[in-house]
Structure 1
Amino acid sequence: MFKKILIPTDGSPLSDKAVDAAIEFAQKMGSELLVLSVAEPYVYMGLMEGAGVFPTDPVMYDDKVKEMAQKHLDKVEAATRNKGVSCKTVVSVGLSPYEEIVRVAEEQKCDAIFMASHGRKGLNKLFIGSETQKVLAHTSLPVLVLR
């Protein structure tokens, strides 16, 4: 039924729960996992006072977030290897994680997406938003949301 499952991860404990559930599911179903970590690049604010002054080196920042994303993926890849589950990993660079999740899922012809949600309510949900909600609104794939 689900031959290829996308799991986006940010390395958080909540994300790890979704990863664990997806590994267990894939093990039982014989599914392949595609694990994605989105590295958000440095955002340069050129119109700020003191424009042209970077609080940090943008190239170094971008390299560091890609390195962190790869570490998250390496951890998941090791867990899948221990469970005998087929796994591929992808680091994607983008300003909008939900767009990268949807794009990669479509490009890689995934059958489903497993992801975590913080389950925010009230004003937190309104102001912080939810990458999970955005994925749900922008994909036609089945999405299993874990809390």
Structure 2
Amino acid sequence: MFKSILVPTDGSQLSERAAQTAIEFAKIHGARMTAVSVIVPLPVVPLTDAAVLPDAGLYDLKMRRNVEAGLDKIVAAAAAAGVPCDAVLGEAVSPYEVIVKTAEERHCDIILMASHGRKGLNKLFLGSETQKVLAHTHLPVLVLR
């Protein structure tokens, strides 16, 4: 039934556990996986004319290294389990857009992702990429906590 699984990751331990579940899910279904992670550009909100801005180039380099390491870890774990897996690295202000677009482009049957389960004001201010994915895709989404 499921032949192509999309696994978004933010590099957190929760995402790593979701990836392990996705690998087992893929083995059961004889599916291939695509791991996707998104680099969010450094938000810059100058409060005065003399705002001190962080080094955007250094931020991008560190983010890219961290994201690539997380994707490499998932690809290696899938390979060790005999599950074909490729990786997609995207860049966007809103990660859900890359997740939904990648699922469509890769003809995925399901998105399997973690949710941090934030509550209250944290959920309001931080938003939920999982909620946004659910709202913008027609695919089934398996949410793991």
Quick check: TM above 0.5? yes
What's the TM-score, normalizing by structure 1? 0.91
Equivalent position SS for 2:113: strand
Q: Which blocks of at least 5 consecutive residues in structure 2 are unaligned?
A: none
Aligned to 2:109: 111
Aligned to 1:5: 5
Aligned to 2:21: 21
What's the TM-score, normalizing by structure 2? 0.92
In structure 2, what residue type is equivalent to 1:44?
Answer: V
Within 2, Cα distance between the matches of 1:71 and 1:140?
30
CA contact (8 A) 1:41 1:65 kept: no
- The percentage of aligned residue pairs carrying the same residue is 56
Question: 1:51: how far off?
Answer: 4.7
Distance 1:43 1:124, change over 3 A: closer
Equivalent position SS for 2:111: strand
Equivalent position SS for 1:119: coil
CA contact (8 A) 1:112 1:143 kept: yes
Distance 1:125 1:44, change over 3 A: closer
Question: 1:59: how far off?
Answer: 1.8
Within 1, Cα distance between the matches of 2:123 and 2:59?
28
Aligned length: 145
Runs of 4+ in 1 over 3 A off after TM superposition: 50-53
CA offset digits 1:116-147 (Å, max 9, x no partner): 01222333323332110110011101000001
Equivalent position SS for 2:15: helix
Residue 127 of structure 1, aligned match among 125, 128, 140: 125
Within 1, Cα distance between the matches of 2:59 and 2:40?
10
CA RMSD of aligned residues (A): 1.5
CA offset digits 1:86-145 (Å, max 9, x no partner): 000011011111111111111221111000012223333233321101100111010000
Within 2, Cα distance between the matches of 1:43 and 1:19?
28
Within 2, Cα distance between the matches of 1:30 and 1:85?
8
Distance 1:51 1:104, change over 3 A: farther
